[in-house]
Amino acid sequence: MLSPFEIVAIGFTAFITVDMAKYLRSGELKKDFSSLRTLRGWKWLGAIPVTLVLLAVTISFGLFLMQIGRPVMDWSWLKLLQTPGEKVQGQNLMTSGLRIPWFALPFLVLLALNVPRLAKREERAFRQGTRTLPEALGRSVHFGLIHCIVGVPIGIGLALTIPGLWFTYVYLKGGVRLSTAWHVVYNYIILSMAAVWLVSPIFTR
């Protein structure tokens, strides 16, 4: 019998899978991928290492907050679904499909194709129109904490203020298209790590 957490995870996976599949039929895929042209050539070589450092700092700071700020900073609403004998950790429900063995690989491909759309949506919501430092900080904190809705712990949500501020800096230099491109690189690095995690059991058997 499925636990409440498993029911929520499967239900959320089903919902976003249908949504992402509908997007592929919309004909917007090529248009959304065009934002990556702002990082063509040598700019890609600069974006990748900077993004790796940004990701490392974000994860380290998030884990630090969770360690020193227990039980608040490591709290996620997903823990409310925990049953006796079950240990539920905060996580991003957007990637819950990667934990379904027979569905993980196609879900990863589908998610990868949707990354530019999802990044553009967030950049328009949290970066577009930003002019001042207080606006940048407030929107970046909002950007980070909004991820808690999909199950991310509070500490990680606050740590996501860091990439939020970087994307804002990039936005002020080149607009939504440029910040979207950097956001896409950031998310693709995370997905690449997820892909390695998926295939690693194959090589360790």
Q: According to the model, what pLDDT value does residue 195 have?
A: 84
Angle between helices 104-126 and 4-25 (to 10 degrees): 80
Report whether 78 contacts 90 (CB < 8 A).
yes
Whether 57 shows a pLDDT value over 90: the answer reads yes
- Model confidence at 203, pLDDT cuts 50, 70, 90, reads very low
Q: How far apart, in whole angstroms, are the C-alpha atoms of residue 131 and residue 36?
A: 24
Q: According to the model, what pLDDT value does residue 81 have?
A: 95
Whether 102 shows a pLDDT value over 50: the answer reads yes
What is the average pLDDT across 112-122?
A: 96
CA quadruple 117, 161, 51, 133: dihedral positive or negative?
Answer: positive
Residues in contact with 127: Cβ distance below 8 Å, sequence separation at least 6, in sequence order: 139, 167, 168, 171, 176, 179
Average pLDDT, the chain: 92
Residue type at 181? A
Residues above pLDDT 70, as percent of the chain? 96
From the number of C-beta atoms within 10 Å of its C-beta (0-12, 13-18, 19+), residue 164 rates as buried
Whether 194 shows a pLDDT value over 80: the answer reads yes
Q: According to the model, what pLDDT value does residue 42 have?
A: 67
Q: According to the model, what pLDDT value does residue 86 have?
A: 87
What is the average pLDDT across 165-194?
A: 94
Whether 205 shows a pLDDT value over 50: the answer reads no
Q: Which of 9-13, 25-29, 115-119, 139-143 has the lowest mean pLDDT?
A: 25-29
Q: According to the model, what pLDDT value does residue 85 have?
A: 85
What is the average pLDDT across 123-138?
A: 96
Whether 98 shows a pLDDT value over 60: the answer reads yes
Whether 71 shows a pLDDT value over 70: the answer reads yes
What is the average pLDDT across 109-126?
A: 96
**Dihedral of the CA atoms 7, 13, 18, 23 (nearest 10)?**
160
- Model confidence at 201, pLDDT cuts 50, 70, 90, reads low
